[in-house]
Amino acid sequence: MDPPAFGHGPENEVWKIEDDFLKLVEECASLLADKPLFFLINGYSAGYSAVAYQNNLLPLVEKFGGTVEIGELTLEEGGAVKGMGRLLPCGIFARWSAK
């Protein structure tokens, strides 16, 4: 999933990732199969970290086992030599995977 950092619902209710993200993860997790394979989250909110995403996926580890991997999404800056450009940050991710 790729949740927004901020938004408004159909009845002008406010969505803030800091307030509503955990409930969204809980509701999505309730829809998973009995033996899910993975759960992937990516985001671009400056106020949220990959570690926070990881913490929100720990209930899946408790319920199904598996592992959580976290990191940054990046693009390589163009340069004269491929593989020599700087990495430009583009977001964060967390992925729970079954073993």
Domain annotation covers residue 29? yes
Domain count, the chain: 1
Angle formed by the axes of helices 50-64 and 17-29, to 10°?
20
Burial zone of 92 (CB within 10 Å; 0-12 exposed, 13-18 middle, 19+ buried): buried
pLDDT along the chain (99 residues), means of 10: 89 89 92 95 84 93 96 84 80 94
Does pTM surpass 0.75? yes
Domain annotation covers residue 34? yes
The pLDDT of residue 79 is 65
Look up the domain containing 76 and give its range.
6-97
Domain annotation covers residue 59? yes
Domain annotation covers residue 1? no
Domain annotation covers residue 14? yes
Domain annotation covers residue 37? yes
The pLDDT of residue 5 is 83
Domain annotation covers residue 87? yes
The pLDDT of residue 18 is 84
The pLDDT of residue 56 is 92
| Cβ neighbours around 28 below 10 Å, total | 13
The pLDDT of residue 99 is 80
Residue 36 has which token pair? Answer: 């899910």
Q: How far is CA 48 from CA 8, 57, 78, 99, in A?
A: 19, 14, 28, 27
CATH of the domain at 52: 3.40.50.150
